[in-house]
Amino acid sequence: MTRILQITDTHIVAPPNKVSKVLDTYSLFQQAVNKINKDLVKLGKIDAIIVTGDISDRGDEESYKAFQELITQLHIPYFVIPGNHDRREAMRTCFTSLQSTNLSEEINWIHAFPDLDVIGLDTVIPNSGAGRLSETALTFLADSLQQSKDRPALIALHHPPFESGIQFMDAIGLDGANAFSEILAQSERDIRVICGHLHNSIVCSVGGKTVLSSPSTASSFVTDHRDNAPVGFTQQAGGYMLHEWNNGFRSSYLTLAESGPLYPF
């Protein structure tokens, strides 16, 4: 069994800065780490953490170092992919696992666990909120899925390969989603896809595979499909995800809100 936590959209800024002059994302992530550490007593052994982008809000080295100070408190190996707020060059400088290639190159990787492959894809368009799966990323994905065809694969990317119905987010969606869907449909492997970006938990089917977006640790976006829906975020407590492989995928949503008393039946 392989068990992986997904954390996304931490949007860290180093203290005393705040995102949009409202969100103290450093303190919010510290609270999230504290809650996750409490939850680990109930969850059991975790093999790794996947952080699906927008680690930093500004893409500066100071914020990545602040993020590292906090995530290391979980004492679990972690892997990162960039989101639209991140900067590849600063990430490669700060995260030693990313320093094997040139600073400006896409951050696409594959990591093999005993019974599962995890594939990380870079969807960043520099200086844009929107995302794109380039020919490089799509080729990397197709080639990775051709390996070890009898093994399941967990694919992680930042931008969702589907429309969410949240219109201001769909406006900065993912170019290349159709090609991505075709690659998934052609693969015989058991695949689950995870993403961030939406600050919301949504489940879809793409290319015949299940795709899930995780909520953020920093803020929440309201599910509002109206044409005139207001643009913005709420400070409602977000969450994170647990993805498990045990002769099949199972994904669980875990809230960062503190639970109330437990009542017996």
Q: What angle separates helix 61-71 from helix 25-43, to the nearest 10 degrees?
A: 30
8-12, 147-151, 154-158, 216-220: least confident range: 147-151
Q: What is the pLDDT of residues 166-179, one digit of tens each?
A: 999 999 999 999 99
Q: What is the pLDDT of residues 76-110, one digit of tens each?
A: 999 999 999 999 999 999 998 887 655 558 999 99
- Report whether the peptide linkage leading into residue 160 is cis, meaning its omega lies within 30 degrees of zero: no
Q: Are 239 and 255 within 8 A, CB to CB?
A: yes
pLDDT score at 100: 67
pLDDT score at 256: 95
Secondary structure (3-state) at 145: helix
Q: CA gyration radius for the chain? A: 18
Average pLDDT over residues 104-132: 94
Average pLDDT over residues 156-161: 98
Distance (Å, whole) CA 53 – CA 26 = 16
Domain ranges of the chain: 2-252
Q: Are 118 and 79 within 8 A, CB to CB?
A: yes
Residue 258 has pLDDT above 80, yes or no: yes
pLDDT score at 102: 55
Confidence band of 236 (pLDDT split at 50, 70, 90): confident
Residue 195 has pLDDT above 60, yes or no: yes
52 burial (CB, 10 Å; 0-12 / 13-18 / 19+) is: buried
E strand or H helix at 192, and its extent?
A: strand 191-195
| Phi (first) and psi of residue 176, to 5 degrees | 100, 5
The CATH code for residues 2-252 is: 3.60.21.10
56 burial (CB, 10 Å; 0-12 / 13-18 / 19+) is: buried
Strand-pairing partners, residue 193, are 155, 211
Confidence band of 180 (pLDDT split at 50, 70, 90): very high
| Percent of the chain scoring above 90 in pLDDT | 89
Tell how strand 191-195 and strand 153-156 pair up: parallel
pLDDT score at 261: 87
For the chain, how far is it from start to end, CA to CA, in angstroms?
A: 31
pLDDT score at 104: 56
Q: Name residues whose C-beta falls within 8 Å of residue 89's C-beta, 6 or more positions apart in sequence.
A: 103, 104
160 compared with 236, residue with greater pLDDT: 160
Distance (Å, whole) CA 237 – CA 50 = 20
Average pLDDT over residues 60-82: 97
Distance (Å, whole) CA 65 – CA 67 = 5
Cβ atoms within 10 A of the Cβ of 231, count?
Answer: 11
Average pLDDT over residues 119-131: 96
**Mean pLDDT for the chain overall:** 94
C-alpha angle 54-58-60 in degrees, rounded to nearest 5? 105
Average pLDDT over residues 124-131: 96
Q: What is the pLDDT of residues 25-47, one digit of tens each?
A: 999 999 999 999 999 999 999 99
- Residue 74 carries which DSSP code? G
